[in-house]
Amino acid sequence: MPLLERTIKMVITTILAIFIAESLHLTYAISAGIIALLSLHDTRKTSLKVARERLFAFFLAFCIAFFSFTVCGFSMLAFTVYLSFSIPILYLLKLESGLVPITVLVTHLLAFKSLNFQVLSNEFLLFIVGTSTALLGNAYMRAPKKEIQHYHVIIERELKDLLFQLESSLLTTFDNQLYNSLERLEILLGQALALVYRDSHNQVFQQTNYHVHYFEMRRHQLRIVDKMVKSCQKITERNRQSILLAHFIHETAEQLSKTNSALTLREDISLLLETYRQGELPKTRLEFENRSQIFQILQDLEQFILEKTEFYEDYKEYH
């Protein structure tokens, strides 16, 4: 979320919580705003999770506070006893996210010097107003559809160019720029996955993993291409087999689109593998080493295509 948009949301949520608390004539209404501010998170799922944890933490912490102030009076000793018990207990129960905002509410008991129903109700309502307002604020999460689509386009283009570079290296000489392209594409995929994972955590009631699985599929393909590049670097001479493989990689690049099932490629590569297996045996050590690298690239390419066809089968309705 852009900084300006985040700032506006935080300001509005905080002020709204204070306004609601004042409308309910709650004492220390500003605390509701602070709780709302501390309860805003990057995703809806995180917000709901933290709100639930803090609700449990509230009741637990106030039970400890009630005991501390009843036994020790409204003093720093009582507050020390409260902290000494609440901190380890909340951490052990993994409810530490509620420690700071709820402790702020507990300090009000020192000021009130009372544990009557009206005082406890005031603190509970401050907590509810602050947390609920934050949940309302987090209900607005702009879906990054354009950004996701941008990554679809640019990653597909970069991967296509990478395959064309690999094709060229099989036809002529190895291009060291392939490693730069691999690194650049890895960075783009990391950014895309961070975006779609965050977006998936904002889909509380209805969720699709299409974009997550798409970019994960492309990452798996990239790792396969990385192996292919390393094998290509070991090829010392170009021959008919490397030329055939280069042409097939070109065809694979042309059919890289997410809307293409790549089923024909899968059939063709099976035939090509069988042709390689039945071909004439290498006569020299150099021929053997080159042939083994070419065959390895072909096997990796088969896995590359398989990743695509399996993804397409899983998400036919999206194409």
pLDDT at 189 (0 to 100): 94
Going by pLDDT thresholds of 50, 70 and 90, the confidence category of residue 311 is confident
In this structure, the answer to whether residues 164 and 306 fall within a common structural domain is yes
Res. 33: pLDDT tops 80: yes
Q: What is the CATH number of the domain that holds 275?
A: 1.20.120.940
Phi first, then psi: give them for residue 238, nearest 5 degrees: -100, 140
Query: Considering 117, 140, 163, which residue would you say is the last residue of a domain?
Result: 140
Q: Are 318 and 220 in contact (CB under 8 A)?
A: no
In this structure, the answer to whether residues 130 and 227 fall within a common structural domain is no
Torsional class of 288: left (φ above 0), alpha (ψ -120 to 50), beta (otherwise): alpha
Task: Report how far Cα 97 is from the mean position of its chain's Cα atoms.
Answer: 21
Going by pLDDT thresholds of 50, 70 and 90, the confidence category of residue 317 is low
In this structure, the answer to whether residues 225 and 261 fall within a common structural domain is yes
Overall pTM surpassing 0.75 (yes/no): no
pLDDT at 207 (0 to 100): 54
Task: List helix spans (H) across 172-317.
Answer: 177-200, 210-233, 240-254, 263-277, 285-314
Query: Considering 121, 140, 159, which residue would you say is the last residue of a domain?
Result: 140
In this structure, the answer to whether residues 119 and 161 fall within a common structural domain is no
Query: Considering 140, 160, 175, which residue would you say is the last residue of a domain?
Result: 140
Average pLDDT for the chain: 86
Query: Which among 51-60, 254-263, 301-310 has the top mean pLDDT?
Result: 51-60
Average pLDDT of span 219-240: 89
pLDDT at 201 (0 to 100): 63
Domain that holds residue 271: 145-318
